[in-house]
Amino acid sequence: MKVKSFYKSIGWILFLSFTFMVIPGLTLSKPSKTTREKSNISSSPVKRKLPIEERQSSGQQGPLQLDARSALLMDALTGEVLFEQNSREKIPPASFVKVLTLYLVLDAIKGGQLKMDELVTVSEKAWRTQGSKMFIKVGERVKVEDLIKGVAIASGNDACIALAEYLAGSEEVFVTRINEKAKMIGMKDSHFRNSHGLPAEGQVTTALDMAILAKRYIEDHPEALSFHSTTEFEYNGIRQGNRNTLLYKNIGVDGLKTGHIEESGYHLLATAKRDGQRMIAVVMGCDRMTKRANEAQKLLEYGFKNFSTLVAIKRDQPFGPIRVKRGKARQLILIPEEEGRVTVAKGKENSISMVPEIPSYVIAPIQKGQILGKVLIQKEGKEVKRINLIASSGIEKSLLPSWPVLGAMGGGVVLILVVGFWWFQRRKRRRA
């Protein structure tokens, strides 16, 4: 009976010790609450940020009236639409398609599948292509770099086909890739049938889609602007000037592409940079070549005059520190995943504020770059952008249990020793 009582006592002691060890662990494993720190702003509900292609309503129509079928102005650094006029109307793109052709070519170079000095053999199909030309010849071997210049500067349809056939085996396969790329970057209302933009049934785009394309193209391949900003190109003894006449005006324009077919009129996709700002202007369906340049310039001037692009959150801006549990380090600094830029009307720069949402603590292990919080950027109390906050460094899990667990384990051991000592002393006295 005494032995049974001893084992029963030990069982209860072990049960209580196990409970002391597990309960603190369960408490620590609960997700931490997120804390908000609001700065310079009144309380207001948070609204979902709309993607670029859904935010055209933020554009203004009142101050400007453009003599164009469709138009749009976008801040290239934030993606915010600042003006729009029939920006979703589907119009044949003409040579606007060539931006996508160059996009895929530069993707291939960046990915190592193509080199600037590779030689491309010109096919008869490329040579026979009508419209604007680079004037390459059948059977001629042309450097990829020269073909890129032929597309970007001289708007050569023949150069487009030569590049398309070399990269994909045929223009048809290349066009499939063009449409896949367009869909991937968010060009929802566009469809393409060739690599150069000559009239083709069902080939359409919109001013909004072209602005989305231009923004992504410049971000992924800023080196492309060195081609698009070149004012003339000579090949086979034929010198041709860039048809983007805004390049000659010294107003900060360094791209991007012109276009024209009888069916749709004159287009211009222009981008300019001034004092740390970059604007994208799209004008489609003008009735004269000079008008597309004038209307695009009007858009750019309107953007630079009336709007500021602010860096609300710097890329290396620290947030925290926050507590780390079960880790080899006790604290962790969070940093933004990207720079947070926003566009505001001039004179309203103070309307921008940010609301960090960070946890009160995190539990190790933590990987460097792991998303642990976010910052809401607000304009006049409305959310316009959100930036993820990531771990600035990795933290390994500590090999030692946390202090509550150690305390419970120690207490359990002490309790066992005390009870055991008491039981043996009691047994000894009874025998005596």
Active site amino acids: 95, 98, 155
Residues 222 and 231: beta-carbon distance below 8 Å: no
Q: What DSSP character marks residue 251?
A: S
CB 157: neighbour CB atoms within 10 A? 25
Q: Residues for the chain: how many in total?
A: 432
Residues in a beta bridge with 91:
205
Q: Residue 408 corresponds to which tokens in the numbers above?
A: 């419970």
Cα 342 to the center of its chain, rounded Å: 14
CA pair distance 124, 158, nearest whole angstrom? 10
Residue 39 dihedral angles phi and psi, to the nearest 5°: -130, 120
CA pair distance 340, 77, nearest whole angstrom? 10
Collapsed DSSP state (helix, strand, coil) of residue 211: helix
Residues in a beta bridge with 30:
none
CA pair distance 159, 295, nearest whole angstrom? 29
Residues 250 and 220: beta-carbon distance below 8 Å: no
Residues 171 and 165: beta-carbon distance below 8 Å: yes
Per DSSP, the residues of 342-392 read EEEETT-GGGEEEEEEEESEEES-B-TT-EEEEEEEEETTEEEEEEEEEES
Per DSSP, the residues of 119-180 read EEEPPHHHHH--SS-----TT-EEEHHHHHHHHHTT--HHHHHHHHHHHHSSHHHHHHHHHH
